[in-house]
Chains A and B, each alone.
Chain A
Amino acid sequence: MTDVAPDTAAVWQALGTILDPEFGISIVDLGLIYSVECTDGNVSVVMTLTTPTCPSGAWIHNGTEEAVRRLAGVKNVKVELVFDPVWSPTMLSATAQQLLGWSSDEVHR
């Protein structure tokens, strides 16, 4: 019996458990994951970092790959790190904005 290939929702959920070490906020809420694609167990993730010189970037990148690889039914994982477009605060989720201390007016603006 083989595992069922994961769908993108499962991948997003797995990535949502990875915290950025500085802000303690998930990399999904920080807007670091640009896209997730799943095709017959082949998972492709496009991600970025808040800054190209992020010192924990290697671990976040490796951890993203590892978290996806651990999902049942995954055959291949490709995690691409891109800086085009550059990360910007507009990519923060409402949850991240609240955790960073934005006022409710700013969050709902």
Chain B
Amino acid sequence: MTPPSSLTVAGSLSLRAPERPAAARPTTPTVGPRLSASWLAAQGRLPLAFMALGLAWLVLATAMLALAPAALALPHSAPHVVAITHAWVLGFFVTIATGASYQIAPVALGTTLQSERYGWWHFGLHAVAVPGMVYAFWRWDMVLLGHFGAVFAIGIILFAVNTWQTVRRSGQRDVVAWSLAFAASWLLITVLAGLLLSLNRYWNFLPLNPVALLRAHAHLGLVGFFITLLQGVSFRLVPMFTLADVPDWRSVRVGLWLSQLGLLGLAPALAWQNGYAAAIFGAAILGGLIATGRALQRALATRKKRFVDPGISAFLRGGATLVLSAVLGLLLVWPTTPWGSAPGGFNAMVYAIAVFAGGLLPAVSGMLCKIVPFLTWMRAYGPKVGRVPTPAAGALTNPVLENWGLNLQAVAVLPLAAGAWLLSPAWLAVGAGLLGCGVILFTADMLTVLRHLWKPIVLTAPPAPNRTRP
């Protein structure tokens, strides 16, 4: 590029970028005082450590499912089902989501993480507690579960306090800040409720159906942590990755608040098995998801990066499936539904597969496709910018592995759901096999990216401009 020269003032030659309109010329240069702090927070090894642990759990949890696919034909309170569910939820989803929060919260809020040391303590406690909890569920050893659950809870307390303090010190009170604070709070409540449930299995002090309590616990985590987090941070991440604006913050706020209000009613309604109340509050959550989806759709319509990456596509597909899953959940809790969710009913498993494999898995995997290359780039190539040619973050991935990995994970949902619905071990085995293949390819792609931390490539010339893949 050869910018045109303009004028010489007092011996200096000044040039301007040719495409910039006159109105965009800089006035008084100002540097955001909080900016450098947020940058520093983003450079940490902490989120990458969580990502690596989460990927290990993804492989392990998939292996558990592939070795025992028929478990999904059992009632969802069966020990092996509970163990596999916690391997997926605590091992993969929570590990990735909390690790990503350590990266996203400071960036989104324009501040530093309150305490990286707390974050590392959380990592250590989490790494020790989750395997113990999954093993305890598998063996149905409630005493062991209580011990490891307490260790896990301490880690989550550290995470929640860290998040609250980070939000507080940022001074931000927008919908993204609220979503981060709410999500951390609901995660803590979910874990404490889970501990209460395990104690109740031992001492039986709550005169309520354990399966109904299990459902309430599951929805506290699902809606309270994951959906609440997605309803906020999506509006920082998606615009950042697609060069989009958020023209409809009102819908974002409505979406978040409807979900919060809905969950406040849904959890007790599920615990006390009041179907109508559960349906009404579930409808509020569905309304919240629709408002969030509408706001995200409007944001994407403004995107300047026209092509949508496979990771963003998977993320959006996961979000859409979560909305559809909410409709399915409403049908299941409606009291007059003939195939409704009686305690131990098998249809709830189809709903769970839709939520976890159809919704959360692509949403989290899709974001991993964006976050892991970015974090890796920052550590492996960030310090080299301006010194030697550096690749783009997207160039660290293997597109074939990424596409096949994400697509096979998506395809696996149908046979898994069919198998759970028809109680067919054959369909479940097909679904688990496809999921396993998808996870292997996806993990191989992530390892290809992470390898740059130890073996960065050396470019001798600036890479060709990267046309974004369609």
Contacts and interface: CB of A to CB of B under 8 A. Distances in A.
Interface of A: 7-9, 12-13, 16-26, 28-29, 31, 33-40, 46, 50-60, 62-68, 70, 80-85, 88-95, 99-102
B433 interface: no
A28 B374 contact: no
17 contacts: A9-B5, A12-B1, A19-B462, A21-B392, A23-B468, A24-B465, A33-B17, A38-B12, A56-B377, A56-B378, A57-B39, A62-B385, A65-B386, A80-B29, A81-B29, A85-B25, A99-B466
A17 B462 contact: yes
Contacts of A84: 26-30
B79 to A, nearest CB: 42
Contacts of A31: 17, 19-20
A99 B467 contact: yes
Given A53-B110, A63-B386, 19 more contacts: A8-B14, A8-B15, A12-B2, A18-B385, A18-B386, A19-B463, A21-B378, A22-B394, A24-B392, A29-B1, A34-B24, A55-B378, A58-B43, A59-B382, A59-B385, A66-B385, A66-B386, A67-B385, A81-B31
Interface in B21-53: 21, 23-32, 35-36, 38-40, 42-43
A21 B238 CA distance: 16
Given A52-B32, A82-B31, A25 B374 contact: no
Interface residues of B, number: 70
Contacts of B321: none
Contacts of B468: 23-24, 99-101
Nearest to A40: B11
Nearest to B109: A53
B381 A21 contact: yes
B459 to A, nearest CB: 10
Nearest to B16: A35
A12 to B, nearest CB: 5
Interface stretch (B124-132, B301-309, B449-457): B301-309
B385 A36 contact: no
A102 B306 contact: yes
B306 A22 contact: no
B389 interface: yes
Closest 8 pairs (CB-CB, A-B): A24-B466, A63-B385, A63-B386, A101-B306, A66-B386, A24-B392, A58-B39, A59-B382
A63 B462 CA distance: 14
B19 A51 contact: no
B31 A23 contact: no
B20 A34 contact: yes
Nearest to B394: A24
Nearest to B396: A21
B56 interface: no
Interface in B365-390: 374, 377-378, 381-387, 389-390
A58 B304 contact: no
A64 B12 contact: no
Nearest to A87: B24
B352 interface: no
A20 B392 contact: yes
B211 interface: no
A63 B421 CA distance: 56
A92 B19 contact: yes
B395 interface: yes
Given A31-B19, A55-B378, A56-B378, A88 B29 contact: no
A35 B386 contact: no
Contacts of A35: 14-16, 25-26
